[in-house]
Amino acid sequence: MEVSGVLEKLNMKKISATDIASQFWCEKKMELGHLYGAKRTVFMERGSQLHEKWQSEVYVPLTVETRSGADWYYKTAYENYTTVSTLMDKHVGREFFLYGSVNGYKITGKIDELRIANGKVVIVEDKTTKATDVGNMSRKSHLVQIMLYRKLLQDLRESKYTYSNMSAAYGIENMRMSEEFQKGLAEIGVREELRTLPGIFKMMFNRVAAMPPIDDNLVLRYSDISSGKELGEVNVEYNTDNFDSELTYAMRYWNGERTAAPVPESERWKCTRCEFFGKQCTTWYGGSNA
């Protein structure tokens, strides 16, 4: 599928799960972030630090340095392969990079944690918030994001999105990894049949297809942004009909069927937290009384 007018306008070739989730916080802010660049806040930096800390507890990264786009794609597939292996061995794995498709658009995302409980794979998404702001827990954007992860992972497991789909979408067969990267793979003992992009991606897809069933019970795990202390978990029940309705609404924006929607007037309190408020966006701007 050719890049849509909206993707071209935003200089994008694929849509992230975070983009779709952000549509349910403020779609206009999501769009302006791509057009003008969103600033990273102190809270965002702290959130990234906590994710790196949690990641290091189970995650097994590929130690070979990437030098090209093809190298990076290999790295995502290899690390997914090891994450699923860790999941099957230890019943927990972290950082699974998702590839998929919705309405012909390339969609990507990254699951924070997978764990096996009662014979099923449970998706866990880590979120940070202020200990005094528990109202952020299970907000709609978080619910949409984790349910989208559930859909994408299920598509992989049920072979609705296969290596052939991905190869056609990304041109995997035509990519060439750097010689330095390939030498590095050999040096750390990666088997020869897994030292090619098609080889590692096919093995990754096979591993995911062999996973246990994916639980409809999803978990949002919240931690305090300052201390990293866990505040609690929220269980989310995946409902296909409800989620499909939300996804259909979101995709109408990417299809160009409607313009980016600002927050409703009842949620204009969000505007005071937005760097575009009163500048690129004046939807609810009314001076000092806004």
Domain assignment present for 235: yes
Ordered DSSP codes for 164-186: HHHHHHHTGGG----HHHHHHHH
Query: Would residue 252 count as lying in a domain?
Result: no
pTM: 0.91
Q: What is the pLDDT of residues 94-132, one digit of tens each?
A: 999 999 999 999 999 999 999 999 999 999 999 988 877
55 within a domain of the structure (yes/no): yes
What percent of the chain clears pLDDT 70, i.e. is strictly above it? 88
| CB 250, CB 23: distance < 8 Å | yes
Q: How many domains does the chain have?
A: 1
Does 267 fall in a domain?
no
On whether residue 30 sits in a domain, the answer given is no
pLDDT tens digits, 131-146: 777 666 668 999 999 9
Q: How far apart are CA 70 and CA 172, in angstroms?
A: 8
Where in the sequence is the domain holding 99, given as residue range(s)?
Answer: 51-242
Q: Which backbone phi and psi does 220 adopt, to 5 degrees?
A: -100, 120
Selection from 109, 106, 116, 114 nearest residue 149 by Cα: 109
pLDDT (tens digit per residue) in 173-189: 999 999 999 999 999 99
- Whether 29 maps to a domain, the answer reads no
- Let me know if residue 111 belongs to a domain: yes
Mean per-residue pLDDT over the chain, rounded: 91
277 DSSP 8-state letter? B
CB 35 within 8 A of CB 10: yes
**Contact 207/85 with Cβ under 8 angstroms?**
yes
Q: Is the sign of the CA dihedral 140, 144, 150, 154 positive or negative?
A: positive
Q: How far apart are CA 266 and CA 288, in angstroms?
A: 18
Q: Is residue 69 domain-resident?
A: yes
